Amino acid sequence: MHHSIHDEVHLSNRNHWLRAAVLGANDGLISTSSLLVGIAAASPSSQTLLLTGMAALTAGALSMAAGEYISVSSQADTEKADLDKELYELTNNAERELFELTKIYEARGLDHVLAHQVAVALTEHDALEAHARDEIGLNDLSQAKPIHASVASALSFIVGAILPVIGILILPAQTLVWSLASLTVVGLILLGIISARLGGAPVIPATARVVIWGVLAMVATSLIGRLFGVAV
């Protein structure tokens, strides 16, 4: 039976999109819920709440997408600049670059002769890849992908924000404020469990972290709203 070189699944491969997705869903859930709880306290019509929720969802998703794209694009620009610099050095100072690579492998535990042999072999195979991976710390998995991060953030924001919007439609109007707050806590628990499962982390600490900080963010929003004379 044939096995690939890497049969096991490395969960860190999910880091980029998982970070963007968890951040987006958390932001969507908390910001939209906080806004709707504040407006619900003023007892407007359900139509006003629904329109407000949809506006918050749309604006938030676009804002998350744009912010994530700009942020990750800046990271990608920095990576490209590093690769361009490395390519220049490989072209103009090949011996020094080979020496640098040798020293890197020596620092990882190889003796000088073996480190030099490995450096020569990898340089002959793909010099830029070797230096990108072992000198700069870049590889295909870690490289910044602006579009992926942007889409993940926008979609996850919508997933988080849609929960309180749906809550407006199904929860009783008489207790809407507390019902929305309770629904948000349930959403935070689900988000913590899902993110922990996807990231291979212990469920209870990861979920507790999401719930505690999410609730604190909502409480802070409420206090700030009251401080400025706004019911939030």
Digits of tens for pLDDT over the chain (232 positions)?
A: 444 444 444 444 445 566 677 888 888 998 898 888 878 777 677 788 889 899 999 999 999 999 988 988 888 888 888 788 878 877 787 788 888 888 888 888 788 888 888 888 888 887 778 777 777 766 654 566 788 888 888 999 999 999 999 998 888 878 888 888 889 999 999 988 888 887 777 889 888 988 898 888 877 876 776 666 555 4
Q: What is the chain's length?
A: 232
**Pick from 108, 109, 90: which is nearest to 99 by CA?**
90
- Domain boundaries of the chain, sorted by first residue: 13-226
**Residue 202's pLDDT is what?**
86
pTM above 0.85, yes or no: no
- Residue 124 has a pLDDT of 81
Distance CA 114, CA 1 (A): 33
* Interatomic CA distance for residues 62 and 153, integer angstroms: 9
Distance CA 141, CA 110 (A): 26
Distance between CA 49 and CA 165 in Å, rounded? 8
Contact of 160 with 187, CB cutoff 8 Å: yes
pLDDT score, position 5? 46
